[in-house]
Amino acid sequence: MSQIYLEMNHVKKTFGELEVLKDISLSVHKGEVVSVIGPSGSGKSTLLRCATMLEKMDGGDLSFLGEKAAWEENGKCVYANKKQLKEIRKNFGLVFQNFNLFPHYTVMKNIIDAPVCVDDVSKEEAKERAWKLLKQLGLSDKADAYPYQLSGGQQQRVSIARALALQPKVLFFDEPTSALDPELTGEVLRVIRQLADEHMTMVIVTHEMQFAKELSDRVIFMEKGLVCQEGTPEEVFGNPNARVKEFIGRVMQV
Ligand SMILES: Nc1ncnc2c1ncn2[C@@H]1O[C@H](COP(=O)(O)OP(=O)(O)O)[C@@H](O)[C@H]1O
Ligand SMILES: [Mg+2]
């Protein structure tokens, strides 16, 4: 088996009284595409937020490419120091449902900002990378546009370019097409498919069942903070347990 890029073991997360992640383990190998599906409120976003350290876990461990970001010590979750976390953060990027572009920056500035300001990449190199990405994502003519001048699908492609500009090893998507009109969904899914063809390692939370079925190496169905079923798309969609069957039936109908 190839190298493990992301590993999470026995992750727990509570908000007050609410146990949102009860005991989740997930490992993603180099080049793998893992889709996370499940009903609203099952903890999918929280799982991504814990994986990308936007949220602190209450238990369990987290590592990227074998580097420990967090682990349990005396029943508590301890994180690596700031400097180590900064290095570990370079391994991944995150694409949100609502694009989260800076509204007062042009497309180009949105893409080069983090590489230049956070990653100490030279401006020329960052721009060179950005032009390549814009071309790849069909946005060459949009470098000087502001987000409000773009369609939702174009904005989402810019936010994918922005994440890729940091050259992550793992890319996380949290419902990347949920805020889009159906006719704009396709252009974003095509870009993700293109990345999968290039063997980008990805974890994708999605409601697009057909897409998850076709694209993923592995599908994880989450419910109430636990993994309810996990397997290849053939296993999960071809032989779903009762709960998954009910969910898929409901989602694929609408
Ligand atoms: N910051 C937060 N504070 C309190 N509760 C939260 C917070 N974030 C998420 N939750 C709760 O955790 C549960 C899981 O949410 P979420 O991870 O967003 O699920 P999903 O992405 O699967 O819809 C929900 O009940 C939600 O209300
Ligand atoms: Mg969510």
Please tell me the predicted confidence (pLDDT) of residue 202: 98
Confidence of residue 191 (pLDDT cuts 50, 70, 90): very high
The amino acid at residue 248 is I
Query: Ligand 1, atom 17: nearest CA belongs to which residue?
Result: 43
Residue 72 pLDDT exceeds 90: yes
Say how many C-beta atoms besides its own lie within 10 A of residue 127's C-beta. Answer: 18
Looking at ligand 1, which atom is closest to the CA of residue 55? 1
When pLDDT is averaged across residues 192-199 and rounded to a whole number, the result is 96
Looking at ligand 1, which atom is closest to the CA of residue 38? 22
Residue 254 pLDDT exceeds 90: no
Report H helices in 95-141: 107-117, 123-136
Query: Ligand 1, atom 16: nearest CA belongs to which residue?
Result: 43
Is 44 a pocket residue for ligand 1 (Cβ < 6 Å)? yes
Q: Chain-wide mean pLDDT for the chain?
A: 95
Share of the chain above pLDDT 90, in %: 94
Decide if 104 contacts 98 (C-beta within 8 A).
no
Nearest alpha carbon to residue 89 among 63, 58, 128, 123: 63
DSSP per position, 159-214: HHHHHHTT--SEEEEESTTTTS-HHHHHHHHHHHHHHHHTT-EEEEE-S-HHHHHH
Please tell me the predicted confidence (pLDDT) of residue 1: 66
Our measurement of the distance from residue 165's CA atom to the centroid of its chain's CA atoms, rounded to an integer in Å, reads 15
Is 206 a pocket residue for ligand 1 (Cβ < 6 Å)? no
* Closest ligand to the CA of 44: 1
Please tell me the predicted confidence (pLDDT) of residue 162: 97
pLDDT in tens, 215-237: 999 999 999 999 999 999 999 99
Confidence of residue 2 (pLDDT cuts 50, 70, 90): confident
Placement of tokens 């799982």 in the chain: 47
CA atoms within 13 A on the CB side of 147: 18
When pLDDT is averaged across residues 58-83 and rounded to a whole number, the result is 96
Cα separations (Å) of 188 from 67, 97, 149, 176? 31, 12, 17, 8
